[in-house]
Structure 1
Amino acid sequence: MILEGRGLAIGYPGRRVGEGLDMALAAGRATALLGPNGGGKTTLLKTLLGLIPPLAGEVRLDGVPLAAIPIRERARRIAYVPQSQGAGFGFTVFETVLMGRTAFASPFARPSTSDEEAARTAIARLGIVRLAERPITEISGGERQLTLIARALAAEPAVVLLDEPTASLDFGNQGRVLREIGALREAGLAVLFTTHDPNQALRHADAVAAIRDGRMIESGPARDILLRERLERLYGTPVEEVREGERRAFLPG
């Protein structure tokens, strides 16, 4: 496993959000993290990233305790794609993606030629070359989300964690982002993404972890976890399963 958390209790001083959580991410595999709002998904992501320390248990990266790895080294190996939000500053798309190379530069140093080339490669990979010189404040939400993914890829990481990468995106841009998640997996990266849509997990994840009220209630291969009765237990609501041949989908009941 590249990144794993064992026996994690997660939360903040004075407020425990979850406990007894195990998570393991492997190269070339995508894991979807499902669960109701407030269940602890984002807190778990931040703990795996090392942004907040676990209250109990341990996170390891390639077998080494994450706490023992310098922050800059973590940033080179684990990339984070937050939910797309309104941008406060008018950096261009290229400048934003280039920020993904910060962990490789000395403080106050100018980006190197290799940094700029990595940024251009990531922009081309996401199909947003035409936006490179546009201010991020003047592009759509979907284009901004693709920019954030490009920024993460510019660091050439081994692990990518995405927090609700399709939230607030239109149907077309959801497809673009989800296809890129598949491409990351095919490129050999370990991928973890949170989603509220079990259909996204059904189509784009190898494994699923289901978290509710801070506890992992289901974890395993997507085909085993994504069943109507298990989703009803996870979300506490009726779920309808629609089948057409080998294809299936889930709808709120």
Structure 2
Amino acid sequence: MAEVTRQFGDLDYERNDEAGPPARRNRGPSFICQFYARSPLETRFQKCRPREEGGRTLNVFTRHADLTQHHRRIHPMPPHCPRCWEVFDGTDQEQAHARADVRCDVVHVRPVLGVGAQQLREMATRPRNLPFEQRWYRDYATIFPDEPHFTGSPCPTLMNGDFIDIVNNCIDRLESETPDLCGWTLSVVRQMFESQRLGSRISRPLPLDLLQEYTSFPEAPSEPASGNTTGRRVSISYRGVDPTMLQLAAPGSGQGESVQGSGS
């Protein structure tokens, strides 16, 4: 009996989704991971950044099956409580938490943890004659049901990893060279999210991980390191915020602070 030689890529892709491994077909449009597209500056998603390594382009997908496999390997839903969304190291802890005498509080804001089995099934059963781009946006809505409308670009050419590196380097330099000013700026951001006036302008609840991130900032100094704060304008961009000027008190100034909130 003739030995069957495995061709590279034959077992690495879902063959019923599209025909053949990458070398056997014409490449179409390329797309990036939905998690990275949504939060390109978030540390835990940097592993999904498109990049060149060893002569290969990583994290750029030309087939829906390859991107689904990426989600299955890189973003599996961890064991967690569906009531409070606490994450556990294993199923034993998850079951012990579920059997506890005191029930946990229900958290209605769903954090971004990963892709569950049901979500993967929904993504795999979509009509396969749809263009990859349409499937990408449908999958995005499945992964992030609380914010299903993505307004950015899913293409790597418009989500350049080099640009993200530049932004990260600028942030690192600001934090190291002007910590007082950065601390004060972050305190203004926190005031915005905690402000009752801003709360009425948000069209949906803030993601839990974003709330936790902004409430963990240390207190800012009573005054900025240098310069007059009067009339200083800080531009803040957040999805779902009505682009209206808000008046917040600058630390130590006793005067109003103009803060721009712009939705995207």
TM-score, normalised with respect to structure 2: 0.24
More strand by share: 1
Larger radius of gyration: 2
Task: Pick 1 or 2: higher relative contact order, CA cutoff 8 A, min separation 6.
Answer: 1
